[in-house]
Amino acid sequence: MGSRFSVYILVGATVFLSFGRTESLLAKASKEPCKKIKCFTPLGPNGVIINKKEFESSLPKRRKTSGGMCARVVRTCIEKLIGRPLDRKDYAKEYGEALVKTGLYREQSPNSQPRDFDVHILYPRKKSHYGHMEIYYKGKWYSDFYQQASLWQLWPKEYSKVKLYRLAYERVVIPPQTPPSHKRSKPSTRLAQSPVY
């Protein structure tokens, strides 16, 4: 009985000490900042890994009015979507060139039916106005606030023209993997009485 008791004490002490060591390691690890991968490798010349979760988290879904930061918010959304930084510009009307420069956006006809991740750049009538930038996602337009529709449709007299930039990427469809079917070969001779052949 004495040897069994000493074994229990030894095992208990080992577990207690290892738990104490693990706890301090977890505390030390939790104080260090997490490093996220910010670089995505392209799949092909027009392919890119799209990060929809980070994109959705950066959309201003609850804000109802503009704060004058449409270019900054849309630029941040695009950067999180494609995993690459965009060139910084002063005004929303100047971001068309920066979008095309990434190699992932192409200019389209402004009358095209909008698709997810399409960007509208609205050019002002007055020189003092900065323009407007908005992005389309799941049937809604967003800038620095949630919009009821594109501002091109709501206030056509405020803007002189609109340009549409479409995310041009390859949609990689991976076909479902089906296991190869193996046909059973027929045995050359079958025993008449045997249930197994």
Count of the separate structural domains present in the chain = 1
Q: Which CATH number belongs to the domain containing residue 141 in this structure?
A: 3.90.1720.10
Residue 140 main-chain phi, psi, to 5 deg: -130, 150
Does the pLDDT value for residue 102 go beyond 50?
A: yes
Does the pLDDT value for residue 93 go beyond 70?
A: yes
| Structural domain range at position 146 | 52-167
Whole-angstrom distance, CA of residue 68 vs CA of residue 78 = 18
Residues 136-153: what's their mean pLDDT? 82
Residue 197 maps to a domain: no
Residue 65 maps to a domain: yes
Residue 47 maps to a domain: no
Residue 152 maps to a domain: yes
With beta carbons less than 8 A apart as the criterion, state whether 154 and 148 touch: yes
Number of other residues whose CB lies within 10 A of the CB of residue 136: 19
Residue 38 maps to a domain: no
Residue 185 maps to a domain: no
With beta carbons less than 8 A apart as the criterion, state whether 135 and 143 touch: yes
DSSP symbol at 94: G
Residue 12 maps to a domain: no
Global pTM exceeds 0.75: no
Residue 92 maps to a domain: yes
Q: What is the pLDDT confidence band of residue 174, given thresholds at 50, 70 and 90? A: very low
Share of the chain above pLDDT 70, in %: 60
